[in-house]
Amino acid sequence: MKSRYTAAKNAFVDSVDVEDYIEIESSMAAYAQLEHSLEKPLKMILLFGRPGTGKSILLNRAQQKLKHNKEIHYFDTPAINEKEFFSKLFKVITQKDLPRNTEINFPVLVDYCKSLRGKREMIVLLDEAQMYGPEVMEKIRLLSDSRAIKFVVSLHKTEDEDLIAKEHFQSRIWEVIELKNATPQDQAVYIHKKLLKKNLFEIANSILEKNMKLIHKFSEGNYRECNKLMFTIFEICEYYDENEPNKINYAELPQKIIEMAALKLGYIHV
Ligand SMILES: Nc1ncnc2c1ncn2[C@@H]1O[C@H](COP(=O)(O)OP(=O)(O)OP(=O)(O)O)[C@@H](O)[C@H]1O
Ligand SMILES: [Mg+2]
């Protein structure tokens, strides 16, 4: 028989599927801010946050929700090279493929965008923008100056490097939206809703407040780390359920299992 924990485990596989979007307060607030910013005559909007705070899923949600009323495009990972990126952008702007063996005449493309001002408005969501170099960012800026394209630039915030401080991200007309690690409350909502979406009510109820506190402590409120931890916790539960069911308490998730998972993931050491 398949363990009930298998489904719980699989609920925490890392993915950026909009169908799995969960309405967490902080994410909803950031989303509302993004929608509001897109209504303003801004050229560039910055979405900023540590890895695993939910930037990609938020951009995907924006695209899904706005695509019926706006011309909106999502660029996931940066193209391998500048040329490929600009031919993709060329296609978005001109609605035509770039003819083979043709170089983009950039000033002409900018002029074309200017001619669209007031007639057509495109939104381009650029994920992982820390990977675009200064020359690309400068061209993006020139295109956005035409006011026919708005860019939402999503940036990784890292410990050692303040990317916004970099010259090519500075001195632009930015509106900054920041995603932060989850509060204990937000994370508890996230974990519960993930399980309830899969109809795993009993398992959701077996995670007590003290369990949530410990999970938050280990994952530091990071959604990606939280997914990893929850996956590992349920993997251990699954093992007991299948092999030593007398050792498992179905009504209450033992703190010890959370610690075992943390150990396995290297959050703590013996
Ligand atoms: N509101 C949410 N609803 C559902 N899942 C979420 C939500 N926020 C974050 N997650 C989940 O957390 C994980 C990390 O989110 P995501 O990949 O969007 O982060 P990111 O900020 O883009 O990270 P990176 O900077 O590394 O690209 C994903 O599995 C995602 O599905
Ligand atoms: Mg991402």
45-61: per-residue pLDDT in tens? 999 999 999 999 999 99
Question: Collapsing DSSP states into helix, strand and coil, what is residue 193?
Answer: helix
Asked if residue 212 has pLDDT above 80, the reply is: yes
> Among residues 214, 205, 206, which one has the least CA distance to residue 187?
214
Residue that finishes a domain, picked among 132, 157, 179: 179
**49 and 172 share one domain:** yes
Note whether residue 124 is domain-resident. yes
Encoded tokens for 69: 């009323």
Are residues 167 and 191 in contact, defined by beta-carbon separation less than 8 angstroms?
no
Note whether residue 50 is domain-resident. yes
**34 and 79 share one domain:** yes
Q: What is the whole-number distance in angstroms between the Cα of residue 54 and the centre of ligand 2?
A: 7
Residue that finishes a domain, picked among 132, 153, 179: 179
Protein residues with C-beta less than 5 angstroms from the ion ligand 2: 56
Element (H, E) at 124: strand 122-126
Note whether residue 66 is domain-resident. yes
**170 and 47 share one domain:** yes
**174 and 204 share one domain:** no
Asked if residue 171 has pLDDT above 80, the reply is: no
**139 and 253 share one domain:** no
Mutation pick for ligand 1 pocket among 13, 16, 24, 63 (CB with most ligand atoms within 8 Å)? 16
Residues with CB under 6 A from ligand 1: 14-16, 20-22, 24, 27, 49, 51-57, 156, 223-224, 227
What is the model's pTM? 0.92
**99 and 205 share one domain:** no
**152 and 241 share one domain:** no
> Among residues 145, 179, 154, which one has the least CA distance to residue 41?
145
Confidence at residue 174, expressed as pLDDT on a 0 to 100 scale = 77
Other residues' Cβ atoms within 10 Å of the Cβ of residue 57:
19
Give the ligand 1 atom nearest the CA of 128. Answer: 27
**160 and 54 share one domain:** yes
Residue that finishes a domain, picked among 131, 155, 179: 179
pLDDT greater at residue 84 or residue 67: 67
Token pair 């309405």 in the structure block, residue: 23
Confidence at residue 200, expressed as pLDDT on a 0 to 100 scale = 97
For ligand 1, atom 12: residue with the closest CA: 223
> Among residues 61, 39, 43, which one has the least CA distance to residue 137?
43
Asked if residue 165 has pLDDT above 60, the reply is: no
Q: How many angstroms separate the Cα of 56 from the Cα of each of 129, 146, 264?
A: 11, 26, 27
Note whether residue 269 is domain-resident. no
**33 and 128 share one domain:** yes
**207 and 91 share one domain:** no
Overall number of domains in the chain: 2
130-151 residues labelled b (16+ CB within 10 A) or e (exposed)? eebeeebbebbbebbbbbbbbb
The domain that holds 114 is classified in CATH as 3.40.50.300
Note whether residue 258 is domain-resident. yes
Note whether residue 44 is domain-resident. yes
Encoded tokens for 5: 């924990």
**In whole angstroms, how large is the CA radius of gyration of the chain?**
22
Q: What is the whole-number distance in angstroms between the Cα of residue 210 and the centre of ligand 1?
A: 24
| Average of per-residue pLDDT across 205-219 | 98
Note whether residue 93 is domain-resident. yes
Note whether residue 206 is domain-resident. yes
Other residues' Cβ atoms within 10 Å of the Cβ of residue 43:
19
Q: What is the whole-number distance in angstroms between the Cα of residue 65 and the centre of ligand 2?
A: 18
Of the given ranges (65-69, 126-130, 226-230), which has the lowest mean pLDDT?
A: 126-130
Confidence at residue 163, expressed as pLDDT on a 0 to 100 scale = 60
CA distance 270 to 263: 8
DSSP state of 164: G
Give the ligand 1 atom nearest the CA of 22. Answer: 3
Write down the H helix ranges in the chain. 4-10, 25-39, 55-66, 82-94, 106-116, 134-145, 184-197, 201-206, 209-219, 223-243, 255-264
| Average of per-residue pLDDT across 220-229 | 97
**152 and 96 share one domain:** yes
Question: How would residue 160 be classed by pLDDT, with cut points 50, 70 and 90?
Answer: low
Range of the domain at 218: 4-15+183-264
Q: What is the whole-number distance in angstroms between the Cα of residue 156 and the centre of ligand 1?
A: 12
**69 and 147 share one domain:** yes
Q: What is the whole-number distance in angstroms between the Cα of residue 157 and the centre of ligand 1?
A: 14
